[in-house]
A and B are shown apart, each in its own frame.
Chain A
Amino acid sequence: AQSVTQLDSHVSVSEGTPVLLRCNYSSSYSPSLFWYVQHPNKGLQLLLKYTSAATLVKGINGFEAEFKKSETSFHLTKPSAHMSDAAEYFCVVSDFFYGGSQGNLIFGKGTKLSVKP
């Protein structure tokens, strides 16, 4: 069975410092992994996705994530936080194909990122 755990419910950083949002997953098959961002009263926006190509995935707005199979992790990082990065971030896992069970997309509980000036 698939599952995803976001290890921190809230992360606070200062503007200009690095961001690390942690995500561990469990999957029976070859997973696809995504990071989405949600700003207040908005829908989710895709930041990046991993689908078994390069293990280091670059996304929008300077974010990147590294797939580490041995650690079953897919942590999201950014070298330098900006005030506009303050939002909630969701790690999502999807198993390749055997579609049919509850939509195949499993969302983490989310990590709220605060950025201090």
Chain B
Amino acid sequence: KAGVTQTPRYLIKTRGQQVTLSCSPISGHRSVSWYQQTPGQGLQFLFEYFSETQRNKGNFPGRFSGRQFSNSRSEMNVSTLELGDSALYLCASSLGVTGTGGNQPQHFGDGTRLSIL
């Protein structure tokens, strides 16, 4: 079974631009979560989607948005990029919504490394 696929793996942008990252979950998984990982802040939760609906949201500004399609694939968009947005963005998929019964573990992709110049 193929794992979580994130594209692109690396991306370089300049301040003020916008970017879209893509995540294809494991087949059959309906929940997709996004995380930002930086050396200073560690892993921080961005948002979670399940059945095309945002179910949970972290504490990030509105410049960070996402969506999920009917095939469970998800995209994350960051507008008006800032230097501080340079990070590894990780996507994770699971069978159910995080926190609900059974606490299905999340399976992570290898991430998209975003560098802002």
B-binding residues in A (CB < 8 A) = 32, 34, 36, 41-46, 49, 51, 90, 94-105, 107-110
Closest to A106 in B: B45
* Chain B residues with CB under 8 A of A104: 56, 98-99
Is B57 a contact partner of A102 (Cβ separation < 8 A)? yes
Number of A-B contacts (CB under 8 A): 77
Q: Interface range on chain B: under 10, 10 to 19, 20 to 34, or 35 or more?
A: 20 to 34
A contact face: mostly helix, strand, loop, or mixed: loop
Q: Contact partner of A43 among B4, B99, B102, B103, CB < 8 A?
A: B4
- Contact (A98, B42) CB under 8 Å given A42-B110, A43-B111: no
Closest to A6 in B: B42
Is B56 a contact partner of A102 (Cβ separation < 8 A)? yes
Is A105 a contact partner of B106 (Cβ separation < 8 A)? yes
Q: How far is the CB of B84 from chain A (nearest CB, A)?
A: 18
* Chain A residues with CB under 8 A of B48: 103
- Contact (A46, B107) CB under 8 Å given A90-B43, A99-B55: yes
Is B103 a contact partner of A94 (Cβ separation < 8 A)? yes
Is A49 a contact partner of B105 (Cβ separation < 8 A)? yes
- Contact (A109, B4) CB under 8 Å given A34-B105, A94-B103: no
Is A98 a contact partner of B105 (Cβ separation < 8 A)? no
Is A96 a contact partner of B103 (Cβ separation < 8 A)? yes
B62 touches A (CB below 8 Å): no
